[in-house]
Structure 1
Amino acid sequence: MKIMVSQSLPIVSKCRVSPSQKSTLTELKLSVSDLPMLSCHYIQKGGLFAKPPFPISDLLSLLKRSLSHSLTHFPPLAGRLTTDAAGYVYIHCNDEGVDFIHANASHIHVIDLLGSADGDVPEAVKSCFAFDHAVSHTGHFRPLLAVQVTELADGVFIACSFNHAVADGTSFWNFFNTFAELSRSGVKRISRSPDFSRDSVLISSAVLRLPEGGPKVTFSGDAPIRERIFRFSRESILKLKARVNNGNMMITNGAVNVAELMGKHANDTLMCKQKPITPLSWLRNAVTGNHTNPTAAAAKAEISSFQSLSALLWRGITRSRRLPAGETTTFRMAVNCRHRLEPELEPLYFGNAIQSVPTSALAGDVVAGENLRWCAEQLNRTVAAHGDAAARKYVEDWEREPRCFPLGNPGGTMVMMGSSPRFPMYDNDFGWGRPVAVRSGRNNKFDGKISAFPGREGGGSVDLEVILAPETMAGLESDPEFMQYVTVY
């Protein structure tokens, strides 16, 4: 039975939650990676959980208490944006607090939010998030974080809406993990403390001049789109990677290491000057652009699973769009620069430390014959070349022309990959079990926007949240090369 809901759910209660202790931070200057995000919507991500074994009133008390303790460790989230007379933008850590919302969706079941008959993400999911279409610049007068707890008939959805000018996906999930950890443990200590330093090349004297009233989003929110989750099992991804690498894969004692499967930790080690992989390696390599082989000069570099999957998607979408052979198509990947800069940023650096790296090619070359390996190599080479020098040039280019990030796909030829299957999205047990699913809201979505999530079963499985124009989505769903690797559960 398909559940129809309005775009908003009844709000049972709403309150402001402040840190349990007064902040010792005063202000943090926005960096050259933060400032471009002022025109982007808030990040919206959340977890769908089974019903906890205690009353909703107890759950709300637990979450408010643990949220307050979490904000003590993440004081910028309880602050507000402020712009000084010179035009510099800061996070004022004034302990003003965040929104905490309890919404009622007792007519909706967990299964209703997992997927509709046509495979699309149900519209009801979008109602579980606050701050729809809120632009990050509005953090000057609204909270930088909102937590919405939606009560379902047989479960609960816990969602965060997170100002994108304040932090990226790595910082988002570190906060979400901390929030869950403190809820589950009942103690005030945390295992992954964020780093708030502001002494890197990302902190600039350049000023971003904004129009009166603040920036606007750079894409239309009214264009028709479809949103679907495509799932890829570990076995399916192994098969794809073997095809791209002509059967030459790194196998030890008959097993494929999950780190190698998804992101090439060995290659990351090379890029990081032979430094050992640490328990925090998922943070050093958390954003999709790091899934690469840095030895780009090698004639037959091993292509990672994620690059193989990205190439498969690029080809499928380009075919479905029926682009002319001479048209240029671009695949953008978000690159985590924490470990690429010299000296490196801390793995738990709080803020945005991502740069958008494009790979462009003629549509005819992307879709030609057996060019899957070729497409993957283009992605590999582009991202592998994005080391310290390229990251610093990115900063210098922005300083010469400060601007907001042009999110969107105005020419209809681009694919933009965000998030990462390495983010610990399912390491969020608030005290009664891991999420049944992880989903996002309606913010920052347009034709060609892709987000990569880890599969719930782990082991290197991946879920791709794909946003496409309806006709393009229909073409992708009927594309034999792409669909042969999609796993039906």
Structure 2
Amino acid sequence: MPCQISSNSSTNIISKSTIFPATDSTLSDLKLSVSDLPMLSCHYIQKGNLFTKPQVPIPELLPLIKRALSHTLTHFPPLAGRLTTDVDGYVYISCNDAGVEFVHASATHLFINDVVDTIHVPDSVKGFFTFDRTVSYDGHFRPLLAVQVTELNDGIFIGFSVNHAVVDGTSLWNFINTLAEVCRGTKCLSKKPCFSRDSVLISSACLKVPEGGPKVTFDEHAPLTERVFRFSKESITKLKNRINNKKKTCYNNTEVVNEVELIIGEDKVSTLIGNWLKNASVFDQEKSKDREISSFQSLCALLWRAVTRARNFPSNKETTFRMAVNCRHRLTPELESFYFGNAIQSIPTYATAGDVLSHDLHWCAEQLNKNVLSHDDKMVRRFVRNWENDPKCFPLGNFDGAMLTMGSSPRFPMFDNDFGWGKPVAVRSGWANKFDGKISAFPGREGGGSVDLEVVLSPETMAGIESDPEFMEYVSSDVC
């Protein structure tokens, strides 16, 4: 195929080809679940890794990646299939070995530093992905997966565009990790996917799709600013301790101790205070063991307050913070850890702008914590029943200007992708599912509990959080 310019940037498309599984699939059609079907109106997921330049020349590297992809698809046959809808309106993945798209691209005018050493994510990154703004319903007639290898001057980027009605983040990163293992020559795979379809997520309810297929529910072309904020392990620990160590008693107050001494005498007060401290310590330890607010919830609370301040709402304006949660371990019986498909639900937490800003970080984090803790088997099943009563696609977006939606997870193994020339330098994403208030959480490259937040906001809101002292106090100074 002749060289062409990507619509996203000055990336040159050198070639396109179709990669088929190394062996024929024997997997039956997989029915989409109540977690899969709502994603038919979402864009394909676009995630990928940036690497330093391999010593292997590109003409030798590309066939190696293609062979590894072909062999990996034998373990993930749904990704080489297509969506199909039967006469009753039920949607399936047909594991028909139709193949995936493979793209070789060039952006040799770009360096690694052009991607990672910028305050805001440059638009050039969007050219590292194909299937730009493709809606997942289009998987009926387009590949469910595309892999693009883009040459930079001093590195390469491997970008994955995957149908969101077929995978969630857990399934996607398991596939990418497996591809890296196969590319390195690993024979025995460590994390085999499970294609079982016998859980409560598989329903007899039918999603009625409008003529022409569902459309995205947000403005795809709204002006946005994107930045990756880095949070070191030390910074997150400091924030988490601040939130979890909220003073619950006044036993450290010298004025109170002095008053007690005047009433009951100095000799008795030391014994009293000693017992008080001991009992309070035991109580607080037990309470914090049950209700400790996590590092991630602490970060979410920090961001919620900063964005609410920057948006400058009246105090009675209701704000929403949505968090995607993995339901695999929340169901009873649990799903397999590597259940293939979507097994996520979106938990909304509501609070007025006045409450978010008048209370402290502990209060904000506690609201998120309560919702996450309460999302058990009973709640997952309630979400399923509610969807069955009103089957519809997921309304993704910021409809009232006061929403934040957190996706992805710092627990995903995004840096466990050594294809044979070292671990990634960074994680980046494409245009997919981006709107004002869309946040994605990545693990920090240095590991150890560090976190990167990919934040997408309107330009004025981004400027607001970048000048917010409380928020920026915890952001690492170096650019990601």
What is the TM-score with the length of structure 1 in the denominator? 0.87
Matched, 1:462 2:451: yes
Give the number of the structure whose alpha-carbon radius of gyration is greater.
2
1:45-102 per-position Cα deviation (integer Å, ceiling 9, x unaligned): 0000001011101110110000001100000000000000000000000001000000
- Map of 1:464-479 to 2, 5 A cutoff? 464-479=453-468
Could you tell me which runs of 5 or more consecutive residues in structure 2 were left unpaired when the two chains were aligned: 1-5, 248-284
Q: Is the 8 A contact 2:128 2:148 kept in 1?
A: yes
Tell me, yes or no, if structure 1 residue 368 matches structure 2 residue 358: yes
1:444-463 deviations in Å (ceiling 9; x for gaps): 00000000000000000000
Corresponding residue of 2:217: 218
User: What does residue range 291-370 of structure 1 map to in structure 2 within 5 Å?
Assistant: 301-368=291-358
Residue pairs, 1:142-161, within 5 angstroms: 142-161=142-161
Measure the CA separation in 2 of the matches of 1:6 and 1:80.
26
- Give the counterpart of 1:64 among 66, 89, 96: 66
State which drifts further: 421-430 or 238-247.
Answer: 238-247
Q: Post-superposition shift, 1:187?
A: 4.1
1:201 — aligned with what?
Answer: 200
- Secondary structure (helix, strand or coil) at the match of 2:220 reads coil
Q: Cα deviations across residues 366-423 of structure 1 (Å, max 9, x unaligned)?
A: 0115x10000000000111010000000000000000000000010101100000010
SS in 2 for 1:73: coil
SS at match of 1:107: coil
* Residue aligned with 1:347, SS: coil
What residue in structure 2 maps to residue 439 of structure 1? 428
Q: Whose helix fraction is larger, Structure 1's or Structure 2's?
A: 2
Which residue number in structure 1 is paired with residue 104 of structure 2?
Answer: 102
Residue 246 of structure 2 contacts residue 362 of structure 2 at CA under 8 Å; is this kept in 1?
no
CA distance in 1, matches of 2:65, 2:95: 22
Alignment-mate amino acid for residue 411 of structure 1 = D
Cα separation, 2, equivalents of 1:467 and 1:108: 23
Distance in 2 (alpha carbons) for counterparts of 1:379 and 1:482: 18
2:79 maps to 1:77: yes
- The alpha-carbon deviation at position 298 of structure 1 amounts to 7.4
Instruction: Provide the C-alpha distance between the structure 1 equivalents of 2:291 and 2:29, rounded to a whole number of angstroms.
Output: 45
1:96-135 aligned at under 5 Å gives the runs: 96-116=98-118, 119-135=119-135
Q: C-alpha deviations, 1:455-487, integer Å up to 9, x for none? A: 000000000000001000000000000000000
Q: Which structure 1 segments of 5+ residues have no match?
A: 249-294
Residues 6, 171 of structure 1: alpha-carbon distance in 2 compared, 3 angstrom cutoff: closer
**Alignment-mate amino acid for residue 35 of structure 1:** L
Q: 2:388 aligns with which of 399, 412, 436?
A: 399
How far apart, in 1, do the equivalents of 2:426 and 2:288 lie?
A: 39
* AA in 2 matched with 1:200: S
Letter of the aligned partner of 1:51 in structure 2? K
- Displacement, 1:238? 0.6
Contact 2:147 2:160 in 1 (8 A): yes
Distance 1:28-1:8 versus aligned 2 partners, 3 A rule = farther
Deviation at 1:108, TM superposition (A): 1.0
Q: 1:169-208: CA deviations, max 9, x gaps?
A: 0000000000111101x24431110000000000000000
Distance 1:366 1:177, change over 3 A: same
Task: Give the structure-2-normalised TM-score.
Answer: 0.89
Distance 1:6 1:140, change over 3 A: closer
Mapped to 2, the partners of 1:402 and 1:297 lie a distance apart of 40
Percent of residue pairs bearing the same amino acid type: 67
- Contact conserved, 1:232 with 1:463, CA < 8 A, in 2? yes
- From the superposition, tell whether residues 299 and 60 of structure 1 become closer, same or farther in structure 2 (CA, over 3 Å): closer
- 8 Å CA contact 2:8, 2:126 repeated in 1: no
Aligned ranges 1:23-62 → 2 under 5 Å:
23-62=25-64
Secondary structure, in 3 states, of the residue corresponding to 1:450? strand
- 2:95 — aligned with what? 93
Partner of 2:24: 22
Letter in 1 for 2:390: E
Aligned 8 A contact 1:136 1:163 in 2: yes
